[in-house]
Homo-oligomer: A and B are copies of this chain.
Amino acid sequence: MSGSALFPASRLEDAAERVRTGGLDALLLTPGPDLRYVTGYDAKQLERLTCLVIPARGEPVLVVPRLELAAAQASPASGLGLEMIAWEETEDPYALIARRLGPVGVAGLADQMWALMVLRLRDAMPGARQVLASSALRDLRMRKSPAEVGALREAGAAIDRVHARVPGWLKAGRTEREVGTLIAEAILAEGHTQVDFVIVGSGSNAASPHHEVSDRVLRPGDAVVVDIGGMMPSGYRSDCTRTYAIGEPPAGFLAYYQVLKDAQEAAYRAVRPGVRAEAIDAAAREPITRAGYGAAFIHRTGHGIGLESHEDPYIVAGNAEPLSPGMAFSIEPGIYPGPNGARIEDIVVCTDEGGERLNNAARDLILADG
């Protein structure tokens, strides 16, 4: 067994332990973040079944289409001392897994497994109750190892370098789409292997949190929300928002921008082990509400991040999950009163004493010359 610091070989045993303590009989992981977390294997999601089978007792096995065997063997999964079974084009891999497992009472399925596979596994194992793999893997995946925090720190530094270049691109006369294309190229140039999202919301589009880009032309006086992220070669993700203004900011904007900045800071300062996720949301919401902008903060405060852009823990009212060291999540309050809006977002990791920000670009309103 070998593995790496990021994907240690011990993960497979850790997962098996969670299968047992979680009352599952087997965990079934198709390509996606759960499989990558446990094995390091960044398998392709195809209609042909690839599935890591981790029984509560007995040896795990990776079931792969014959055509993917070479790729699986060339992946980090090959260092785990894991049996691989290749199935042929005319075989039924679902029946193969059912035979291999024998009677199963409860089966945990990768959260992103396709319905195509969920329902075929249900039919192949009619006695098994299907639950989500996150019921077993959630606690493991939420608490990042030092190597994972290192990977997120690298991702944060990479996206900070992109933000550092953004003011030079925010020119009156350019469209959001043109700026977005430059940003997408920079996300790759600064070390990501994939662009996950590029939001350039200018003027009234700044008031729409999940706006992406449009053909709107930037104008002097615009506020511009730039929310960007990508995937690093490690598989770990970046996500950071800064708000810019082209020349003189719009009337009234500076007042609520300062409220937002204070709220983001307050939420960050509230991070420490034992504090509930919902308390971080409340810490961001309180100063915004107090200043009269509560109705203009229309989304949760944040989401976990790791091998997925959005994962547990969610920083939202109703989530009583206590923070613990290694948890990584966004703190991204926004105020969208119209006709413009603003958001500030950092990725923060809970440490033994408090929180560490992984994004360190200035949080002041950034004035672009335009």
Contact = CB atoms under 8 A, between A and B. Distances in A.
A109 B70 CA distance: 33
Nearest to A298: B66
B114 A113 contact: yes
Interface stretch (A171-179, A206-214, A320-328, A346-354): A206-214
A130 interface: yes
A241 to B, nearest CB: 14
A316 interface: yes
A89 B300 contact: yes
A270 B165 CA distance: 57
A132 B112 contact: no
Given A109-B115, A111-B115, A89 B316 contact: yes
Contacts of A132: 115-116, 119
A113 B115 contact: yes
A67 interface: yes
B115 A119 contact: no
A164 B111 CA distance: 42
Interface string A206-239: 0011111000000000000000000000000000
A67 B210 contact: yes
A118 interface: yes
A119 B212 CA distance: 30
Nearest to A108: B115
A126 interface: no
Q: Taking chain A's interface residues, is the majority helix, strand, or loop, or is none over half, making it mixed?
A: loop
Contact of A310 (B47, B114, B130, B311): B47
Contacts of A318: 90
A344 interface: no
B114 A131 contact: no
Contact of A115 (B66, B70, B115, B299): B115
A368 interface: no
Given A112-B116, A300-B89, A210 B317 contact: no
Contacts of A133: 115
A162 to B, nearest CB: 20
A311 B114 CA distance: 14
A68 interface: yes
Contacts of A210: 67-68, 70-71
A225 to B, nearest CB: 13
Contacts of A66: 298-299
A217 to B, nearest CB: 17
Contact of A208 (B47, B70, B113, B300): B70
A310 B46 CA distance: 8
22 contacts: A46-B310, A47-B310, A66-B298, A66-B299, A67-B209, A67-B298, A67-B299, A70-B210, A70-B211, A71-B211, A71-B212, A89-B299, A89-B300, A89-B316, A90-B317, A110-B115, A111-B114, A111-B115, A113-B114, A116-B134, A118-B119, A119-B131
Given A70-B208, A71-B210, A112-B115, 13 more contacts: A46-B310, A47-B310, A47-B311, A66-B298, A68-B210, A71-B211, A89-B298, A89-B300, A90-B317, A90-B318, A111-B114, A119-B130, A119-B131
* 7 nearest A-B residue pairs (beta carbon): A113-B115, A67-B210, A109-B115, A111-B116, A70-B208, A112-B114, A118-B118
